[in-house]
């Protein structure tokens, strides 16, 4: 639920681990122009990989991570390219790259099942 300290918990994890913390709202990836959101995802992960070990925190992941084909209206191509890029970046963590990705949502029920597969966001704190 809103206001329960999800972002604060992610910051605390990074603080306790003593690693850099990269935080963004998923809504920052949502753009009108196709390809811009995916480019922003790529840039975030490039920066994180260069500072590994680190933690990447994506707040309100449901802004881009909703089930594909859920009829969100216009802009689906951009949103789908963005979520596909996020999935690609997360799949690129073969072995121990030192990048841990955390995300928060108030709507876990609407997330795309591909995000919740093993090796991606497969653990939930509720």
Q: From 110, 108, 109, 118, select the one nearest 87 (Cα to Cα).
A: 118
Out of 17-31, 38-52, 59-73, pick the least confident: 59-73
What domains sit in the chain, N to C, each tagged with a CATH number? 6-116 (3.40.50.300)
C-alpha separations of 84 from 10, 17, 53, 68, 112 in Å: 24, 29, 24, 10, 11
**For 70-96, what is each residue's pLDDT tens digit?**
555 555 688 888 999 999 998 876 655
Q: What per-residue confidence (pLDDT) applies to 39?
A: 93
Residue 103, Cβ neighbours under 10 Å: how many? 21
pTM for the model stands at 0.88
User: Would the pLDDT of 8 be above 70?
Assistant: yes
């Amino acid at each position: 639920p809103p206001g329960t300290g999800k972002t604060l918990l992610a910051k605390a994890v990074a603080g306790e681990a003593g690693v850099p913390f990269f935080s963004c709202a998923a809504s920052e990836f949502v753009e009108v122009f196709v390809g811009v959101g995916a480019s922003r995802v790529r840039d975030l992960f490039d920066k994180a990989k260069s500072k590994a070990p680190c933690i990447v925190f994506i707040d309100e992941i449901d802004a881009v991570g909703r089930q594909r084909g859920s009829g969100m209206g216009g802009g689906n191509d951009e949103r789908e390219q963005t979520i596909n890029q996020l999935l690609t970046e997360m799949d690129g963590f073969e072995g121990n790259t030192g990048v841990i990705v955390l995300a928060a949502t108030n709507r876990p029920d609407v997330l795309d099942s591909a995000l919740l597969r093993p090796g991606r966001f497969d653990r939930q704190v509720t």
